A and B are shown apart, each in its own frame.
Chain A
Amino acid sequence: MSNQLTKGLDRGQPGMGTPPWSDSGRATKVVGTGRSILQVLSRHGAYILLSAGIFALPLVYLAVQAFKPYTEFLRNPTGLPSGWTATNFSDAWQQGEFARQLVNSLVYASMPTAISILLGVFLAFPIARGYFKQTNLLYGLFVFSGFLPVGLIPLFIEAQALGLYNSMMGYVVMNSLVGAGFFFFVGYIRTIPRERDEAAAMDGCGYVRFILTIIIPEMKPALAAFGVFGFVAAWNNMILPLVMLADEDLWPVTRGLYSFLGENVQNWPLISAGIIIVAAPVVCVFVLAQRYLVEGVAGGAVAGGHAVAAQVSRNDG
């Protein structure tokens, strides 16, 4: 997997252009001046060891196991595969029925994130401009409510009463109204100078157009960071789809993976293959949006993303 990952990154990078913070020019020097790989390696050996050796090693180990047949894994659980085989991947793909589920997951993870961002920005703007005083209190309340235990069955009964149970749209609506984004956008919008509003108003720019053409581009890093965290958290949610989506046709890929894990508890090579299939899209999204993360964090979006993640993982038991 490390190989695939590196490749994915290499492919992804040129399209991403220069990172927005590379104005100092130091960055481009490191890779851009065409030093040999060996030089880079010797210079970066310690970094690679630290990042890959500690944080990726367990995953690499898992990925290597995915290329072994089950019987070989049992006899030789720690070594390299004697003959690399991809059958686990094809088996997992077929057995897990991941194809349709991946499409569902894409809907469940991207739509609520997009909706809650849009809603959040439209609501956050007037508040950031001071039409509402108690934001700090609300903000605090919100953060702490993330740590209140969520009763799964009351949530279910509520969803059922509102007709959101066992439907794709219902699931999207439920996840769109989490509201976390809203509070964190408030802080970010405050950093946008007020003069912009006035200038736009002078130009006869309507509210909706103003938000869409001025504010949203201005908030790009925050939105991207928030989007990534929201996407990842929604993608990884296992328990909520279990309760809210009964029909197999509606399952997201994590629900499928959950059952897949249950069906193949001992067959680690097969499970590894399944995990890699399910995790790959998240890794891709993350790699693509990574460059916005650091900037977005400055606007407090990480807290928002984190709170969403915390709230979602509450249900993840």
Chain B
Amino acid sequence: MFGLYPSVATFFYSFTQYSGVPGTPLNVCGLCNYAAATSSLLSNVAGAIWTTVKFAVGVTVVQTALSLGLALIFQRRGRSFTFYRAIIFLPGILSVPIVGGMFSLLLDPVSGPVGELFRNAFGIESAFLGSGRISLFLIMGITIWMGCGYGMIIFIAGLRAIPRESYEAASVDGAGRFRTFRHITWPLLAPATTVCVFLTSMAALGEFALVLVLTEGNFGTKTLGVYMFTSAFGTSSQLGYGSMIAIVQFFLTLLIGGGLLLALRRREVTL
């Protein structure tokens, strides 16, 4: 009820030149926003889609791999491991403005500790978040830093669900660690992998708040979400145009998410 109606309204606004300020006319204009987007497709929207896809693929692949690695290391039972897991999960429970502010401070090239470390230890100078070359990767890293804990927990649940007999059978066969992982653990983790990959990629495709706080979408980090936000809100903004981008974003998510889910499910079955 509180999710659907406002979403439908967004869909409707995408066909208007509505400013978003209450009390102003809606200016229904049909497909004008979509037409405008098509005419500037190459420079604007397509660029944002490409950045979004790069971001989502990078985050999904690395975060899933790291989460699995962490799960294998920290899956053991025991109080100390409970504690380690809590630490790893910690970044995930902080809100975006806090994390964003924190990393702006850490990565400030003049007054931040990371800049100082790189200067003193390696003699490297970098603008970090202000560098068109590495900015997107840094934001990916921060996103992964925040999300790893979730992924790890999903994989640990998956690992716990693997019956002990499977491993026993493998050790009887004299399989080494790697082969056990390759032939037993990995295939049996398929459901956990599905959940992890799907949730991570969906969240990454929609990401904008963190980017907004860290770079405002500058230095090659303008994802579709950021583009939507900056178009919809601001002094000269139009909610109508922003809504159109939100709809494009939604269909992109639906397309990729649906495809991914199908592929992952099929993989679960064949494995």
Instruction: Establish whether A and B are touching in the complex (CB under 8 Å).
Output: yes
Judge whether A151 and B250 touch: CB under 8 Å: no
In the complex, whether A84 has a CB less than 8 A from a CB of chain B is no
Contacts of A316 in B (CB 8 A): 95-96, 209
Bound-state CA distance A271–B100 (Å) is 13
**CB contact between B87 and one of A22, A51, A314 (< 8 Å): that residue:** A51
Instruction: Select one of A9, A146, A174, A271 contacting B2, CB under 8 A.
Output: A174
A-B contact pairs, 28 of them (CB 8 A): A22-B78, A26-B78, A47-B84, A55-B88, A55-B149, A56-B87, A58-B106, A77-B111, A145-B3, A145-B4, A147-B257, A149-B246, A151-B7, A151-B13, A152-B6, A154-B5, A158-B2, A158-B6, A178-B2, A237-B95, A268-B105, A283-B90, A298-B160, A302-B150, A302-B157, A310-B203, A311-B3, A317-B212
Measured in the bound complex, the distance between the Cα atoms of B68 and A80 in whole Å is 35
Chain A 173-198 per-residue mask, 1 if CB under 8 angstroms from chain B, else 0:
01001110000000000000000000
Whether B101 lies near A261 (C-beta < 8 A) is yes
Decide: B157 and A298 in contact? CB cutoff 8 A: yes
> How many Å from the CB of B111 to the closest CB on chain A?
4
Most buried by A among B70, B98, B246: B98
CA distance A48 to B83 in the complex (A): 10
A152 to B85 alpha-carbon distance, docked (Å) = 35
Which residues of A pack against B, CB within 8 Å?
5-6, 9, 13, 19, 21-22, 24, 26-31, 40, 44, 47-48, 50-52, 54-56, 58-59, 61-62, 74, 77-78, 144-155, 158-159, 174, 177-179, 232, 236-238, 254, 257-258, 261, 268, 271, 275, 279, 282-283, 286-287, 290-291, 293-295, 297-298, 302-303, 306, 310-311, 313-314, 316-317
B78 touches A310 (CB 8 A): no
CA A152 – CA B228 in complex, angstroms? 14
Residues of A within 8 A of B243 (CB): 149, 151
- Distance in Å from the Cβ of A48 to the closest Cβ of chain B? 7
In the bound complex, CA of A5 to CA of B93 (Å): 14
B269 to chain A, nearest CB (A): 16
Interface membership of B254, Cβ < 8 A: yes
Q: Determine the chain B residues whose CB is within 8 A of the CB of A313 once the complex forms.
A: 96, 209
Shortest distance in angstroms between B108's beta carbon and chain A's nearest beta carbon?
Answer: 8
B161 on interface, CB distance cutoff 8 Å: yes
A40 CA to B98 CA, complexed, in Å? 34
Q: Which residues of B contact A154 (CB under 8 A)?
A: 5-6, 9-10
Which of A145, A174, A298 gathers the greatest number of chain B CB atoms within 10 Å? A298
Bound complex: CA of A24 vs CA of B77, how far in Å? 9
Measured in the bound complex, the distance between the Cα atoms of B98 and A271 in whole Å is 9
Beyond contacts A22-B77, A149-B247: 15 other A-B pairs, Cβ-Cβ < 8 A, are A13-B82, A21-B77, A47-B81, A51-B74, A51-B84, A58-B106, A77-B111, A146-B202, A147-B254, A149-B246, A150-B3, A153-B20, A154-B5, A257-B98, A302-B153
Contacts of B241 in A (CB 8 A): none
B contact set with A: CB distance below 8 Å: 1-7, 9-10, 13, 20, 22, 70, 73-74, 76-91, 93-98, 101-103, 105-106, 111-113, 116, 145, 148-150, 153-154, 156-157, 160-161, 195, 199, 202-203, 205-206, 208-209, 212, 228-229, 239, 243, 246-247, 249-250, 253-254, 257
Whether B157 pairs with A151 at a CB distance below 8 angstroms is no
- How distant is the Cα of A3 from the Cα of B150 in the complex, in angstroms? 24
Interchain CB contact under 8 A, B2 and A13: no
Counting chain A CB atoms within 10 Å of each CB, which of B83, B111, B148, B246 scores highest? B83
